Amino acid sequence: MSRLELSRVSAFYGDAQALFDIDLVVEPGEIVAIIGSNGAGKTTVLRTISGLVRPREGSLQYDGRDLASTHPWSVVSHGIAHVPEGRRLFRDMSVQENLMMGAYHRNNAADGKVDLDRVYTLFPRLAERRDQLAGTMSGGEQQMAAIGRALMARPRLLLLDEPSLGLAPKIIETVFKTIREINSEGVGIVLVEQSAQLALETAQRAYLMENGRIVKTGSASDLMNDDAVREAYLGL
């Protein structure tokens, strides 16, 4: 089944090494959180999985396929959808066009329409705003559109980068409720979050990163009860 496995992955930005020997596994249908402070390399792990960053060493397998040699634009058609940090919507396209871009790789307009209805059911707010330019919406609406665009790709694994960033607590609650709903349909999720509390409450397992390395891993509750994690990341 669709298992993601990174083993001993290292990656660079130019000459600067960003990731050191990353070992990470996501089982099908699992929610895995990656926590850590700013600049720890969490985003780079996601960018490596989706092909925007090439690993220099190590192996990167999904569903028995070698992702490290897959073009970045082909990754999505293997069932991995990435909601990047800062949403990265196509700002001068309408909400509906953004959603349809999520289905671009399938090149099947009829399927696209079916999925569009599903996304509008999940996010009724997006249905109201379908003709609005994506760049003019509020942060919460943009996050919903970004997740909606990813769902349009029919992923089996969803990469979410800082979905709570810049959102009001009320909106965060809605977004995370949706994330659990999506997961309950069998979609695996890699959740990168600065808010460790939120991440550990949502995930089953978690990885803690520092300076480009994974320094701790375990079940979410283990990390929640870890003294070092509590002190440094949960402020307890």
Partner 1 sequence: MFSMPLPLFAEQIINGIVLGSMYALVASGLTLIWGTMRMLNFAHGEFYMLGGYFFFLLISSLGLPPALAVPLAISLVFLIGLAVQRLAVHPLLGRPQWEFSTLVATLGVSIFLQNAALHIWGERFKTVPYFINGTIDIVGMRLSYQRLLILAVAVVAMLAMWYLLRRTRFGMALRATAMDRDAAMLYGVNVYRVFTITFGIAAALAGLAATMLASINSISPWMGAPLMLKGFVVVVLGGLGSFPGAIVGGIIIGIVETLGVITWSSQWREVISFTVLILILWFRPWGLFGVKES
- Torsion angle of C-alpha atoms 160, 166, 168, 169, degrees rounded to 10: 50
Residues 6 or more apart whose CB falls under 8 angstroms from that of 205 comprise 30, 31, 32, 33, 217, 218, 219, 220
Q: Does 148 bind partner 1 (CB under 8 A)?
A: no
Distances (CA, A) of 163 to 2, 40, 177, 221, 234: 23, 17, 12, 21, 18
Nearer to partner 1, 146 or 223 (CB): 146
Q: Does 8 bind partner 1 (CB under 8 A)?
A: no
Amino acid, single-letter form, for residue 166: G
Q: Does 89 bind partner 1 (CB under 8 A)?
A: yes
Burial of 193 (0-12, 13-18, 19+ CB in 10 A): buried
- Applying the rule CB under 8 A, the residues between 99 and 138 that interact with partner 1 are 100-102, 104-105, 107
3-state SS assignment for residue 196: helix
Which H/E stretch holds residue 31? strand 31-35
| Residue 215 Cβ vs partner 1, minimum distance, rounded to whole Å | 28
Nearer to partner 1, 148 or 208 (CB): 148
Structure tokens at 166: 């810049």
Q: Does 75 bind partner 1 (CB under 8 A)?
A: yes
Contact characters 153-182, partner 1, x per CB under 8 A: x-----------------------------
Q: Does 93 bind partner 1 (CB under 8 A)?
A: yes
Interface pick for partner 1 out of 2, 43, 44, 50 (rule CB under 8 A): 50
Residues 6 or more apart whose CB falls under 8 angstroms from that of 30 comprise 188, 189, 204, 205
Interface pick for partner 1 out of 7, 13, 73, 225 (rule CB under 8 A): 73
Interface pick for partner 1 out of 42, 82, 129, 205 (rule CB under 8 A): 82
Footprint of partner 1 (CB under 8 A): 14, 50-52, 71-77, 81-82, 84, 88-93, 97, 100-102, 104-105, 107, 149, 153
